[in-house]
Amino acid sequence: MGLAEASATLPDVLQVGGVSVALGGRKILDDVSFTIGAGEFTGLIGPNGAGKTTLLRVILGLQRATAGTVAVLGQPRSRRNPSIGYVPQKVLLDSDLPMRARDLVALGMDGHRFGMPLPSRQRSEAVREMLHAVDADRFADARVGNLSGGEQQRVLIAHALISRPRLLLLDEPLANLDLRSGQEIISLLARIATSQHVAVLLSAHEMNPLLPVMDRVVYLAAGRAASGPADQVIQADVLSKLYGHHVDVLHVHGRVLVVAGTEDGEGADLTADHALEAG
């Protein structure tokens, strides 16, 4: 059997089937389904309140679904799954925290183990390799609280990847970064997805910077989802059905804008809070 044939027989890394979540009588997610394969970079896109963080929590096993299933590598998802790496939305690293970047990365090796880890040459080499993979060699011995936002994000990604997960989830990793730092992180993640064959699911408001690297998009609106290649999903008819009212998809100066259409021809830009030039 050839490599391509063997890959075709492997289960998808992530399978989300008909997931719904209701909280306080309000439906947050409504019959969300999609799959992600090994090495695929998928953008989880949607406005505030669309349910992106809730969906990530369901995949992590931190939020119970009202209906539907989540499988990782063909098996029902469980909490503390070593096949899943996670970079949360907000991590506050105090400048006085007496921890080097390499120390924080090393902690990622013990997230699914009990007891105190023992120093070893193998452990140190694994940390060194992961810091190199995220281009963090130059600040490996710096205090994490003194690093820039982009540098901290690289260290957190290395922390999530050092246990060699098959699926990497990132909740709004671009939220507090400037445009240049955000683009560097996107390029880094795209490279890691390909080189390490990791399935990446990245939650973001900023759709446009992801377009050059996304293999697939999961677009959330009003708790519902449309998924597939970006050029098939980011279409007026698809998104109009998703939002429940007419929207237009406009291409302006290298940006994609999703605009709510009105009868008088004017409209509100649904991407106004997150549309950025792809660069």
Q: What pLDDT, in 10s, does the model give residues 34-47?
A: 999 999 999 999 98
Q: What is the pLDDT, as a whole number, of residue 121?
A: 81
**Cα R_g (the chain), whole angstroms:** 20
Burial of 2 (0-12, 13-18, 19+ CB in 10 A): exposed
Q: What pLDDT, in 10s, does the model give residues 225-266?
A: 999 999 999 999 999 999 889 999 998 888 898 887 654 444
Q: What is the pLDDT, as a whole number, of residue 115?
A: 46
Regions of the chain with pLDDT less than 50: 1-7, 113-115, 263-267, 272-279
Look at residues 177, 57, 144 and name the one whose alpha carbon lies nearest to residue 186. Answer: 177
Q: What is the pLDDT, as a whole number, of residue 5?
A: 44
Q: What is the pLDDT, as a whole number, of residue 9?
A: 52
Q: What is the pLDDT, as a whole number, of residue 48?
A: 85
Q: What pLDDT, in 10s, does the model give residues 182-207?
A: 999 999 999 999 999 999 999 998 78
Structure tokens at 277: 């030039």
Partners of 258 in the β-ladder? 249
Q: What is the pLDDT, as a whole number, of residue 2?
A: 42
3-class DSSP string for the chain: CCHHHHHHHCCCCEEEEEEEEEECCEEEEEEEEEEECCCCEEEEECCCCCCHHHHHHHHHCCCCCCEEEEEECCEECCCCCCCEEEECCCCCCCCCCCCEHHHHHHHHHHCCCCCCCCCCHHHHHHHHHHHHHCCCHHHCCCEHHHCCHHHHHHHHHHHHHCCCCCEEEEECCCCCCCHHHHHHHHHHHHHHHHHCCCEEEEEECCCHHHCCCCCEEEEEECCEEEEECHHHHCCHHHHHHHHCCCEEEEEECCEEEEEEECCCCCEEECCCCCCCCCC
Identify the structural domains of the chain with CATH numbers, from first to last.
12-83+165-245 (3.40.50.300), 92-163 (no CATH)
Q: What is the pLDDT, as a whole number, of residue 25?
A: 85
Q: What is the pLDDT, as a whole number, of residue 118?
A: 52
pTM: 0.86
